[in-house]
Amino acid sequence: MRIAIIGTGYVGLVTGAGLAETGNAVTCIDRDQGKITKLLDGKIPFFEPGLDDLVMRNVKGGRLQFANTIADGIKDAQVIFLAVGTPSASDGSADLSQVLDAASEVGRNLKDYAVVVTKSTVPVGTADKVRARLQETAKVPFAVCSNPEFLKEGDAVNDFLKPDRIVVGTDDDRARKVLEDLYSPFIIREHKVYFMDVRSAEMTKYAANAMLATKISFINEIANLCEKVGADVELVRKGIGSDSRIGTAFIYPGLGYGGSCFPKDVKAIIHTGQEYGQKLSILEAVDSVNQRQRGRLLEKIMMHFGGKGQDKTVGIWGVSFKPRTDDIREAPALSLMEGFLSAGMKVRAYDPVGMENAKQLKLGKDVHWATDAQDAIKGAHAMVLCTEWSEFRQPDWTAVKRDMAAPVVFDGRNIYDPIRMRELGFTYFGIGRRVDNR
Ligand code: NAD
């Protein structure tokens, strides 16, 4: 099948390369000429494990191409995916301008029947808006479907090639047949494609992310109470996770959820509720617990320094919002670093792949970007673990202690054992951990 993907970011490029892998002829389109130039030079514009091999194999095989304009890229396409960004607007709603602008451009350039599919995360009712935009300019028939994406950065290739499920929203039989064919190679073993109406498909994506965010805010709130009452959230987490109705996934306490999806998607579904006169009380709480959690570690660290940090240095381990990605959007490390810098502290930071993106930010010039984890803690009065990259799990603690100005560790992801850290001579702070009385 001939496929066009509009938006060659984390979702668009993985989708494009994944669909090329099963034999389709795919063109990935992006208006960012820099991204397209990199791809044409054989470089992947962002870090995603396994993606370079998948892209290069399919480029070599002649199944994957790149284009800078929608007019060039959608020629002859039978299926056109919209995989552009849907960031938060200032009122919390999803800003649909990229989706709707792309839809207008598609309409102007459609030459034959095509199935236009929203893969971006978009609020209920967006497919109707996309259809209306296409109708304004298209001179040929088309269908509009919803096919939200569930891949996780850091494991995106695997998630796309071996999905837990594929959700397709359509009320058009011809379009359904096209998407059934397209996805048939991905569902050989089990029936995992859920066809439904468009609005339910759009809602499924928000409900999934809202549920996951809820689990995170829930365990963070329990962790905070554990600290107050002298319980250890890591024991509590295991204790509750062993109940199969609860499960162990996604109940890890930490610095609050970040990234390019959960914060904006929780806000957007709350906004949808407001539009329809339905207050989403749980999700409002999930959002506000998360915002508090994002500030809590900073408060703890400032308290440790007696409220004055001017002459202090902090070493940050991990800048990306989670391991195995260079995505720093809404990363907890960024707000921490901003807090330290505005308190007049010196910040040294290291991340295996996220530093290049962070250097471009306003705070980029005020941070000392370290060459490795050991360099980041040199002369530091505290180390703050923000992202649980594997390489941070078993450092040479003797060397760390030797090079720090004070042996103090704030473990934002609970990856270290508090007792061992104390035995090694560190002052250790985790999230919801019981350190003193065990
Ligand atoms: P991204 O910012 O990495 O990529 C979006 C790309 O679209 C950018 O490269 C941008 O230049 C391009 N673009 C915007 N308008 C365009 C136009 N008119 N023509 C051509 N290109 C255009 O975004 P992403 O992380 O891939 O997310 C895309 C969508 O998928 C969002 O709605 C997001 O919520 C959703 N999503 C993301 C993830 C994830 O883990 N990143 C997972 C599931 C769903």
What are the pLDDT digits (tens) for 43-85?
999 999 999 999 999 999 999 999 999 999 999 999 999 999 9
Ligand 1 geometric centre to CA of 120 (Å): 7
348 to each of 318, 339, 359, 385, 393, how far by Cα in Å?
11, 13, 12, 12, 19
What confidence score (pLDDT) does residue 191 get? 64
What confidence score (pLDDT) does residue 189 get? 67
| CB of 12 shorter than 6 A to ligand 1 | yes
What confidence score (pLDDT) does residue 256 get? 98
Q: How far apart are CA 313 and CA 344, in angstroms?
A: 9
Q: Whose CA is nearest to atom 19 of ligand 1?
A: 31
* Residue 342: partners with Cβ closer than 8 Å, 6 or more residues away: none
Q: Which domains does the chain have, with CATH numbers?
A: 2-196 (3.40.50.720), 231-429 (3.40.50.720)
Cα angle at 167 between 165 and 173, to 5 degrees?
Answer: 130
pTM, two decimals, is 0.97
Q: Whose CA is nearest to atom 6 of ligand 1?
A: 7
Q: Whose CA is nearest to atom 25 of ligand 1?
A: 10
Task: Confirm if 431 and 220 have CB atoms less than 8 A apart.
Answer: yes
For residues 262-272, give the mean pLDDT: 98
Task: Confirm if 323 and 389 have CB atoms less than 8 A apart.
Answer: yes
Which among 13, 199, 9, 160 is positioned nearest to 85, based on CA atoms? 9
**pLDDT grade, residue 438 (50/70/90)?**
very low
The region of weakest confidence among 176-190, 215-229, 252-266, 397-411 is 176-190
Q: Whose CA is nearest to atom 10 of ligand 1?
A: 7
**Half-sphere exposure at residue 150, Cβ-oriented, CA atoms within 13 angstroms:** 22
Cα angle at 13 between 8 and 17, to 5 degrees?
Answer: 145
Ligand 1 geometric centre to CA of 129 (Å): 18
pLDDT at 238 over 80: yes
| CB of 377 shorter than 6 A to ligand 1 | no
Ligand 1 geometric centre to CA of 345 (Å): 35
Rounded percentage of the chain residues whose pLDDT exceeds 90: 97
Indicate if 28 belongs to the active site: no
pLDDT at 181 over 50: yes
What confidence score (pLDDT) does residue 434 get? 86
Grouping H, G, I as helix, E, B as strand and the rest as coil, residue 247 is coil
| CB of 109 shorter than 6 A to ligand 1 | no
pLDDT at 188 over 80: no
For residues 238-246, give the mean pLDDT: 97
Among 46, 70, 84, 150, name the best residue to mutate to test ligand 1's pocket (greatest count of ligand atoms within 8 A of Cβ): 84
Which among 126, 160, 267, 275 is positioned nearest to 210, based on CA atoms? 267
**pLDDT grade, residue 437 (50/70/90)?**
very low
| CB of 9 shorter than 6 A to ligand 1 | yes
* φ and ψ of 64, to 5 deg: -125, 125
pLDDT at 436 over 60: no
Q: How far apart are CA 412 and CA 133, in angstroms?
A: 45
What confidence score (pLDDT) does residue 62 get? 98
* Residue 233: partners with Cβ closer than 8 Å, 6 or more residues away: 219, 222, 223, 226, 227, 253, 414, 431, 432, 433
Among 5, 8, 11, 44, name the best residue to mutate to test ligand 1's pocket (greatest count of ligand atoms within 8 A of Cβ): 11
**Alpha helices (runs of H) in 84-197, residue ranges in sequence order:** 97-109, 126-137, 156-161, 173-183
CA dihedral 207, 208, 214, 220 (to 10 degrees): -160
| CB of 103 shorter than 6 A to ligand 1 | no
| CB of 93 shorter than 6 A to ligand 1 | no
| CB of 101 shorter than 6 A to ligand 1 | yes
Q: How far apart are CA 334 and CA 315, in angstroms?
A: 13
**Mean pLDDT across the chain:** 97
Q: Whose CA is nearest to atom 1 of ligand 1?
A: 9
Q: Whose CA is nearest to atom 34 of ligand 1?
A: 121
Instruction: Report which ligand 1 atom has the smallest distance to the Cα of 35.
Output: 9
| CB of 275 shorter than 6 A to ligand 1 | no
Rounded percentage of the chain residues whose pLDDT exceeds 70: 98
